[in-house]
Amino acid sequence: MAQRLPSAAVLVLHGGRETGAVPPPPGPLNLPGVRMLPFVRAVRRAAGAPDGDVLVRRVRYAHRGWNGGRADPLHDAVTALDALREEAGDVPVVLLGHSMGARAALRAAGHPLVRGVVGLAPWCPPGDPVTQLAGRDVVLLHGNRDRTTSPQATQSLTARARRAGARTCMVTVRGGDHAMIRRAPAWHRLTAGLVAGLLGTRSLPGPVDEALRLPPTAEATLGTLDLDRLGARPHGGPAPAGRR
């Protein structure tokens, strides 16, 4: 019997440092990687990954840092996408990244497999390109108490990307910090629902779906939502027929 190929995939990219030429430490010593494990488990449950229909993989970094123009994690992400294409074919992929990993996910989103990006406390320098996000769904979550990466820069990127042809939305987590420790269950639930929603296996929260449909000229504030106003259910049942 031929092996059944997955219908979709999620690639998870943990955070890192601005500079760092050595590889990340292994296993539990890699704290940014450990931080993403609850998200991996939540995404697997929400997307139906235990049945083998959705692959959930973690991107391995060759270097600990972004390292300026080298943009090392970006190349690791593209390598992982190419390897996934060899393994599973042209499956739709959602990239899920935190901090530096979110920056790499946004930069790698021009890859043909990528359908969307979910970025957690993303690192969004003002000069980073956005044209590669055209035609993609991009949802960025940021805590308003983050002192490591800028919520304002995230909001600016969502507006720039929308003007470039992306469908974008930002969700503010009130009381949320960069490590996503405060209100951790809310981070996990919403992220899992967003990933499943972008893959089409569940419905997106209504306000998120509406924000993704805003016109390119919409103000940044119109595409910025409050987690606590998304409703009691962060994700629902099967996605409605015909959605993108």
pLDDT tens-place string over residues 149-163:
999 999 999 999 999
Tell whether the torsion through CA atoms of 138, 53, 236 and 37 is positive or negative. negative
Residue 52's pLDDT is 64
- What Rg, from alpha-carbon coordinates, does the chain have? 16
Contact assessment for residue 146 and residue 121, using Cβ atoms and an 8 Å cutoff: yes
- Residue 236, in any domain of the structure: no
5: confidence class by pLDDT, cuts 50, 70, 90: confident
Provide the 10 A C-beta neighbour count for residue 217: 8
Only one residue has tokens 């296993």, namely: 27
Query: pLDDT at residue 238 above 70?
Result: no
Q: How many structural domains is the chain composed of?
A: 1
H helical segments located in 66-115: 72-88, 100-108
Residue 74 belongs to domain spanning: 8-229
The CATH number assigned to the domain holding 31 equals: 3.40.50.1820
pTM over 0.85: yes
Over residues 168-222, the pLDDT tens digits come to: 999 999 999 999 999 999 999 999 999 999 999 999 999 999 999 999 999 999 9
